[in-house]
Chain A
């Protein structure tokens, strides 16, 4: 019988934050404030509430021009002193960057940085820039862990055609919110979508940034080929694992009646999440804890773009 226990978690927090320049020159994306805490704190809290107390954060060394990561790394090192997180063990692993682009090589490569810590474990992976919030105490992480049967599992969204073209389309049999994946197609062309003949023009894509990988996933993460975007992607590693092991991976739909996806991938998404009524006051207070130049730019940007004063 397959081992179905998910005992560790990995949070990917080494990205370049290219879409968040110039803010990410001062603060790495996962360390940006969301309400009263950095985004990454919300991830750690959510994991601990699901009983996952052993967490590896993939970050970047703070030498050379990556000064912004110094803030994040120091924060992580002190986090176990937080009274609300005292039972949590946080390990840090560093992802290397490509020598030419000075960017990390992708999400699959990020997990490989924690190979030692993950050996012999099934683990849940969270992307630093996406949060799935539950309504009425619901937890997507908990639900996903509940569905884990030893083979890889990923979060999935049902999207319109234009969005499906940009994402990783998954084909397979569906039963309620679960899809048994037969094939994953990154950035599908029109003729592939036409062939699927979806009556309501909705398509399932790997999205939401939560995955559960098993003890055997590591070699596939290491050997995956670059995708169309030139990056080494978790989604491609899952496809590779299924193909070679002749096994199945499963997708769990993010049910919008129960969950809200919060995306922090661009400046406007990040700020709009914070400008919501319930976060606004907390956000104003938390920016004060960040570097002065960063706070100044946030004020200026919010004033110009949204006509709102944060002072």
Chain B
């Protein structure tokens, strides 16, 4: 049976409702949950190990800084065709290009700030699960599905801001209708309305989001 790694990215963590909905849809696929925990990997782990193959690419710094901005919900799921099932559910990488009914289409923030990371092939899945097992501790007896359900229940009725709203700002910034400073200020206010994260953590996100938007 295939295993894969799924991560709730910082936008999915901070935007509580959207993150919870994404996890719920993954559970609804009927896959097995072999691990679930909220944790903050070391930045070096993300930079040198998890994203090693992207080193030197134009989006690498932004990606690593973004992914290490907050703790992440880490999921290992298994089942027949699990990689393909989850990838289909997620939709295309760029939120605006993803099918409107897919998870990224519905809940993804904007552009590559796309809520969820999921292993993109069976080969990557095997590699990623093995890699992450170095930093997590899987307790065989633990009911991880129950843990994940409890997390979803805590946040699925949180106040939410439409992804539509973030994408309007993204578009206005790309078209030069608003300045980067204005965009960051508004994004900060919006994130604050849908989260219980501390201010200093939320404050890290807007600049990383606008950087991602302006990179195209």
Interface residues of chain A, those whose CB is within 8 Å of chain B, are 16, 18, 21-22, 25, 65, 100-103, 166, 229-230, 297, 300-301, 304
Contacts and interface: CB of A to CB of B under 8 A. Distances in A.
Given A25-B164, A100-B190, A103-B165, 9 more contacts: A21-B164, A22-B100, A65-B164, A100-B186, A101-B161, A101-B193, A103-B161, A166-B157, A300-B101
Contacts of A103: 161-162, 165
Instruction: Report, nearest first, the 9 A-B pairs whose CB atoms are least far apart.
Output: A22-B100, A18-B162, A229-B159, A100-B189, A102-B165, A21-B106, A301-B101, A166-B157, A230-B159
Nearest to B106: A21
Nearest to B107: A21
Contacts of B189: 100
Interface string B91-102: 000000000110
Interface in B156-176: 157, 159-165, 168
B105 interface: yes
Contact of B100 (A100, A166, A297): A297
Size category, B interface: 10 to 19
Nearest to B21: A19
A16 B193 CA distance: 16
B193 A65 contact: no
A221 B75 CA distance: 45
Contacts of A22: 100-101, 105-106
A101 B164 contact: no
Contacts of B161: 18, 101, 103
Nearest to B161: A101
A65 B163 CA distance: 14
Interface string B19-33: 000000000000000
Contact of B190 (A18, A25, A101, A301): A101
Contacts of B186: 100
Contacts of B157: 166
Contacts of B190: 100-101
B20 to A, nearest CB: 13
Contacts of A65: 164, 168
A65 B106 CA distance: 17
15 contacts: A18-B162, A21-B100, A21-B106, A21-B164, A22-B101, A22-B105, A25-B100, A25-B164, A65-B164, A100-B190, A101-B165, A101-B190, A102-B168, A230-B193, A300-B101
A100 B189 CA distance: 8
Nearest to B159: A229
Nearest to B189: A100
B106 to A, nearest CB: 6
Of B160, B161, B162, B186, most A-chain CB atoms within 10 Å: B162
Nearest to B89: A304
Contacts of A297: 100-101
B175 to A, nearest CB: 14
Given A22-B100, A297-B101, A300-B101, A16 B106 contact: no
A91 to B, nearest CB: 28
B78 to A, nearest CB: 22
Contacts of A166: 157
Contacts of B159: 229-230
B170 to A, nearest CB: 13
A114 B80 CA distance: 56
Contact of A21 (B162, B168, B193): B162
Nearest to A100: B189
Contacts of B106: 21-22
A20 to B, nearest CB: 10
A5 to B, nearest CB: 38
Contacts of A101: 161, 165, 190, 193
Contacts of B163: 21
Contacts of A230: 159, 193
A156 B212 CA distance: 47
A301 B99 CA distance: 11
A55 B40 CA distance: 54
Interface string B131-174: 00000000000000000000000000101111111001000000
A16 B101 contact: no
Contacts of B165: 101-103
Interface string B107-121: 000000000000000
A162 to B, nearest CB: 9
A65 B101 CA distance: 20
A225 to B, nearest CB: 16
B190 to A, nearest CB: 6
Given A25-B100, A101-B193, A297-B100, A18 B160 contact: yes
B105 to A, nearest CB: 7
A100 B162 CA distance: 12
